[in-house]
Amino acid sequence: MDQEWAAVETAGVAGVVALAGAFIGVWLGRRTVRDQAQVEHQQWLRGQRQEAHVAFETEWDQLLPKFEDWVLDAHQIKILDEVDGWDDANMAVVGSMHQDLAPLRRAAERILLLGPDAVDQEALAMVQAAVDILVGIGAQYVPPPEGHDRLEEYWQATEQTKGRRSAFLEETRRSCGRHQTRSALDG
């Protein structure tokens, strides 16, 4: 009887060990799959962010030259003064400028969806800088105060935008874990 009881005990212990092994195997398998899914999601998110950052910078780089086209030169100012066409010219330009700004805003919205917050803030600062340039361009259609230039607000806004793109680029690099600034790009 002792041998039979020993066989039952051995079988019971083996069954418990087998169940424990199966449980540990399932637990480790699920954890591995979850960890792998998280790694793949982070890689996907990083790729989406990189695409959004590049698209945003591309829109920025295309937008600023368009805005420069809306700046009046001395000849255009003379013509508008002669025909008193300031209001009509202003209305035409305002609609076009906001239409030109729309792709940058859409690209910024994509960044806001993907984060991180620090990059979001830099993108919003760039959009605000573009809006400030628009305000400066619009101000050229309003008679300036005595002793001021028609383009004074435009030049001030343009000066303030000079560091925006590099600040955005630096923040995107920081968010990707690349902290060192490349001196070739800074020059």
Q: What is the pLDDT of residues 79-126, one digit of tens each?
A: 888 888 888 888 888 888 889 999 999 999 999 999 899 999 999 999
Q: For residue 25, what pLDDT band results from cuts at 50, 70 and 90? A: confident
Distance separating alpha carbons of residues 172 and 109, to the nearest angstrom: 16
As given in the structure block, the two tokens for residue 183 are 């001196």
Q: Decide: 137 and 89 in contact? Cβ < 8 Å.
A: no
Q: Which has more confidence, 13 or 152?
A: 152
pLDDT on residue 116: 92
Instruction: Give Cα 53 distance to the centre of its chain.
Output: 5
Backbone angles phi, psi at 65, to 5 degrees: -65, -35
Instruction: Return the percentage of the chain with pLDDT > 70, whole number.
Output: 94
Distance separating alpha carbons of residues 73 and 149, to the nearest angstrom: 12
Distance separating alpha carbons of residues 126 and 103, to the nearest angstrom: 13
Distance separating alpha carbons of residues 8 and 121, to the nearest angstrom: 69
Instruction: Average the pLDDT over each of 7-11, 112-116, 157-161 and give the range with the smallest value.
Output: 7-11
Average pLDDT for the chain: 85
**Taking 90 as the threshold, does the pLDDT of residue 53 lie above it?**
yes
| Closest by CA position to 56, among listed 3, 104, 122, 117 | 104
Backbone angles phi, psi at 88, to 5 degrees: -65, -45
